[in-house]
Amino acid sequence: MSFLRPLLKICGNYDCRDVSTVMTTDADYVGFVFVKSKRQVTVTQMKNWLAQHPERTQKVVALFVNEHKQVIKDVVNEVNVDIIQCHGTESPDYIKELKKLVSCPVYKVIHVDNHTVENMRRYEGIADGFILDCKVKDAWGGTGESFDWSELPRFIKEGKNQGVYVFIAGGVRPDNVDDLVSYQPDGIDVSSGVETNGRKDKQKIEYLLERMKKYEHRKGHISRSAR
């Protein structure tokens, strides 16, 4: 058991400048969106950008929404993805079938509502981790809006009971991260909160990390090597 800061995932990287910026920080994950949006990327782009950083320490996360499982398998095989993030309405059976096709962990996004814990339990023993995001009408995420963090202790406890990580997304910024990390989540997922004029900002990322390190806490339920 040791003291560690929450893990940091920087998502929504959509050009070589974003990727280079994240690679020069101590962020733990670099995320890419394979969904039609302003941050959507192609396999070729992602592969080329990552090839420029062969010594990177960040793990690669690919985000999909209700995608055909074979498409996800093809992306994973071509780019060597470390974690798949299912951000839509993918069912437990869908996740089970997907995991038969890929060798990397699969995280399920849960859009927070009055049934969050019950929804997390539907994926117990199936999802390798959870990302809790704000539920916004007609949007899957990336809205910059947060949910009521006072509910976090219940969600984090459920993750510990299942033995998986719980990441928090939605509206996380350097100026409010203190409030969030005081709840001791396993990780934080941020995109627009560390951008300036639509691009990843190294100064904001480093400030966010600095604030997170002030809340290093005891982690014993999951090995960090299995992240």
Return the CATH number of the domain spanning residue range 2-215: 3.20.20.70
pLDDT above 70 for 29: yes
Q: Looking at this protein, which amino acid is placed at residue 117?
A: V
- What are the start-end ranges of the H helices in the chain? 16-23, 43-51, 69-79, 92-101, 116-122, 152-162, 177-181, 202-213
pLDDT by residue (tens digit) across 186-220?
999 999 999 999 999 999 999 999 998 887 765 54
User: By the 8 A CB rule, do 4 and 223 touch?
Assistant: no
Q: CA angle, 56 as apex, 53 and 61 as ends, to 5°?
A: 100
pLDDT by residue (tens digit) across 45-101?
999 999 999 999 999 999 999 999 999 999 999 998 999 999 999 999 999 999 999
Closest of 107, 89, 92 to residue 31, by C-alpha: 107
pLDDT by residue (tens digit) across 141-194?
455 567 889 999 999 999 999 999 999 999 999 999 999 999 999 999 999 999
Q: Where are the domains of the chain?
A: 2-215
Query: CB neighbours (10 Å) of residue 110?
Result: 22
What DSSP string describes 97-126? Answer: HHHHH-SS-EEEEEEESTTHHHHHHHTTTT
Could you identify the residue written with the tokens 């093809």?
Answer: 74
pLDDT above 50 for 1: no
Q: How many CA atoms lie within 13 A of 183 on its CB side?
A: 21
Instruction: Report the alpha-carbon distance of residue 169 to residue 41 in Å, rounded.
Output: 20
pTM attached to this predicted model: 0.90
Distances 214 to 30, 87, 126, 191, 207 between C-alpha atoms, Å: 22, 30, 33, 21, 11
